[in-house]
Chains A and B, each alone.
Chain A
Amino acid sequence: MSRYRYAINVTPKAGILDPQGRAVEGSLGHLGITGVSEVRVGRRVELTIDAVDAATALATADRLAAELLSNPLIEAYAVEPLAGASSTISAAAGAD
Chain B
Amino acid sequence: MPVRVGVVVFPGSNCDRDTVHALSIAGADPVVLWHEQASLEGVAAVVLPGGFAYGDYVRAGVIARFSPVMRAVSAFAADGGLVLGICNGFQVLAEAGLVPGALLRNRSLRFAGRQVAIAALRDDTPFTRGVSVGTPLRMPVAHGEGCYFADDATLDQLERDGQVLFRYVDEAGRPAGPAEPGNPNGSLRAIAGVLNKAGNVAGLMPHPERAAEAILGSDDGMGIVRSLVESAAAAANTPAGLVGSAGAR
Q: Which of B99-151 contact A (CB under 8 A)?
A: 101-102, 104-109, 147, 149-151
A68 with B149: in contact, given A16-B104, A19-B106, A20-B109 (CB under 8 Å)?
no
Instruction: Point out the residues of chain B lying under 8 angstroms from A74, CB to CB.
Output: 102, 104, 149
**Nearest CB on A from B115, distance (A):** 23
Q: Is A59 an interface residue (CB 8 A)?
A: no
Instruction: Point out the residues of chain A lying under 8 angstroms from B107, CB to CB.
Output: 17, 19
Instruction: Point out the residues of chain A lying under 8 angstroms from B108, CB to CB.
Output: 19
Interface residues on B, range: 10 to 19
* Distance of A17 Cα from B149 Cα, bound (Å): 9
**Nearest CB on B from A58, distance (A):** 21
- Looking at B66, B102, B147, B150, the one whose CB has the most chain A CB atoms below 10 A away is B102
* Distance of A74 Cα from B95 Cα, bound (Å): 11
* Distance of A75 Cα from B200 Cα, bound (Å): 28
How many residues of A are counted as interface, with CB atoms below 8 angstroms from the partner's CB atoms? 11
Q: Considering only CB atoms, which chain B residue lies closest to A12 in the complex?
A: B104
Q: Which of A42-85 contact B (CB under 8 A)?
A: 43, 68-69, 71, 73-74
* Contact yes or no, B105 A19, CB < 8 A: yes
Question: What residues make up the interface of B, taking CB atoms closer than 8 Å to A?
Answer: 58-59, 62-63, 66, 95, 101-102, 104-109, 147, 149-151, 186
